[in-house]
Structure 1
Amino acid sequence: MASDQGNNQSVERALSVLQTFVTGHPELRVSDVVRLTGLGTSTTSRLLTTLESLDFVERDRVSGLYRLGMAPITLGGVAVNNHPVHRETRQLAQELSARLGLGANVAVRRGAALFYLLNFEGRLAPRSTVLTGQRKPLHATGLGKCLLLSLDGAERRALLPGESLHGYTPHTITSHERLDAELATVRQRGYAMEIEELAHGRSCVAAPIRDRSGEIVAAISISGPLSAVALDRREEELSRAVIEAADSISIGLGYAGPAGVTFVGPGGDVDPVNGESAPTALERTRP
């Protein structure tokens, strides 16, 4: 038992060292890792040496600074490639981004944050960094609003206490009353919008993705600079595109539509009672 506890502690310490490189610190000295983890200098040095030998970190021979190595990339690639939502969305999101010239992003919820599974950037929305693996707030993003639709008001308040609704810009929703009203609108029209709520100069349109049980398990968005997204003239085009993409992905995950409706493709649903065409997902959710 004592040996197991010691091994567990060693694993936890090693992971705490790796975690220091995730929170905005790409390159660190040993002293930096000591300060961020609270571990002793000798323990930290020993852990870094072991992690370096396993290619989880690497050390610049000139500066002596440590950074993440290649092993985490291998693990991350295996993890996302085996995620069912990632497998179902990757090709479609890439095609969506290329067709619209904007960013296409897919995320799932992990606790009180959204987690990016993938992103592609179109010619009108270039980025210098990869979003995959990053976490963002639920209340300040279009993707997050879609993911919050899976919770009722009480569950949202338990997950996101009022003080956690941080205002990133003057446009951010910072109260549950406003968030409730916003989500009611999202639920009714079938898509969410975010205009400069997380960062100035950016906006997006997002739609929820469901699995075979009908539960919202992910969301997909189209994003980019305000001038490229141009919601004042492109809202209908982009909302239709993102809802159709979300529908297609949901079908691939086994979603068969609301109870009593059988979805047969982008042409529409078929009512199993009378065989007449039923509205598409976009038409069902329009005001």
Structure 2
Amino acid sequence: MAKVAEREPMQGAQSIDRALSLLSAFTPQHPQQRIADLVAGSGLGQSTVSRMVGAMLSLGFLSHDPRSGLYSLGPEVVNLAAVVLNQSPVHHQARQVAQDLAAELGLGVNVAERAGDRLFYLCNFEGKQAPRASTLIGRGGPLHATALGKSLLLDHDPADVEALLGVEYPRYTNSTITSLSDLLAELDLVRGRGYAVEHEELALRRACLAAPIRDRSGTVVAAMSVSGPLSAMNLTENEDHLAMLLIEQADRISVGLGFTALTA
């Protein structure tokens, strides 16, 4: 009897793992899937995938388009995502500040935290000069190739950065930082300036400035950025002005999180 009792929780855990693996198959690059796609990607049998998809459909975690036969994530996933965001102190403090700044500048304004060796977008607002067809919220990005990522690394000493990212990094453009030594040198510049610059390092014809956000202990817990096409950012003329506004608003969020060590 004991063996049977032990087997049931193990089978339940296996089912949860399988269900989560199916949900994880839906990505920004592949937001819609067929049953055959889920079978191929998961390695599970078609009957198992069909049964689990049916259960997730009934619970609202998946949606189905009968005309195309494609499945996509359902409204219950959005509901859970909203719960995560709404319980985040950074999101709570930053959302209105970021939205107002995007409206004022007409540029994109983002707020991100670090999640392991990548960044995680908490807020994403587009201005008229920097429109996007889809939201960045919930998506990740590289730390070494973004202004947000550099700001999120400011509290890390060289050994921490190496342990987190290694010594060589993927190249996205000819301007991407690809070595630990170059990244450490860039972080020293960011500390001296108070903000990070990204100039066509992740994507061509785009630029970004970012500043750190700190909690009551003074630890960098997030970062906020202003971004857009090179022509809209016009860093040659606007960098100082944009950096001043960005740092001011990032500091507002830090104060909302309890940080009190701001200096003139």
TM-score w.r.t. structure 1 length?
0.88
Q: Which residue does 1:216 correspond to in 2? A: 220
1:162 positional shift? 2.8
Matched, 1:104 2:130: no
1:23 positional shift? 5.2
Find 1:175's aligned residue among 165, 172, 179: 179
Post-superposition Cα deviations, 1:165-195, rounded to whole Å, max 9, x if no partner, equal: 1001111000001001000000111000001
Q: Which residue does 1:27 correspond to in 2? A: 32
Q: Which residue does 1:237 correspond to in 2? A: 241
Find 1:81's aligned residue among 74, 86, 105: 86
In 2, Cα distance between equivalents of 1:70 and 1:212: 35
Post-superposition Cα deviations, 1:37-91, rounded to whole Å, max 9, x if no partner, equal: 1112111111111111111111111221111111111111121011100000011
Post-superposition Cα deviations, 1:94-134, rounded to whole Å, max 9, x if no partner, equal: 11111111011000000010000011111111111101000
In 1, Cα distance between equivalents of 2:209 and 2:150: 10
1:150 positional shift? 2.1
Q: Alignment partner of 1:131: what SS?
A: coil
1:35 positional shift? 1.2
Q: Give structure 2 stretches of 5+ with no counterpart.
A: 1-5
Q: Alignment partner of 2:55: what SS?
A: helix
Percent identity at matched positions? 52
Find 1:126's aligned residue among 128, 131, 135: 131
Q: Give structure 1 stretches of 5+ with no counterpart.
A: 258-262, 264-268, 270-279, 281-287
Letter of the aligned partner of 1:25 in structure 2?
H
1:25 positional shift? 0.9
Post-superposition Cα deviations, 1:196-215, rounded to whole Å, max 9, x if no partner, equal: 10111111110000000110
Matched, 1:18 2:17: no
Q: Which residue does 1:254 correspond to in 2? A: 258
Post-superposition Cα deviations, 1:195-241, rounded to whole Å, max 9, x if no partner, equal: 11011111111000000011000000000000000100001001101
Q: Which residue does 2:67 correspond to in 1? A: 62
In 2, Cα distance between equivalents of 1:162 and 1:37: 32
Moved over 2 A (4+): none
Please tell me the root mean square deviation across aligned C-alpha atoms, in Å. 1.0
Q: Which residue does 1:195 correspond to in 2? A: 199
In 2, Cα distance between equivalents of 1:23 and 1:86: 22
In 2, Cα distance between equivalents of 1:238 and 1:216: 21
Q: Which residue does 1:266 correspond to in 2? A: none
Find 2:13's aligned residue among 8, 30, 36: 8
In 1, Cα distance between equivalents of 2:44 and 2:213: 42
Q: Which residue does 1:42 correspond to in 2? A: 47
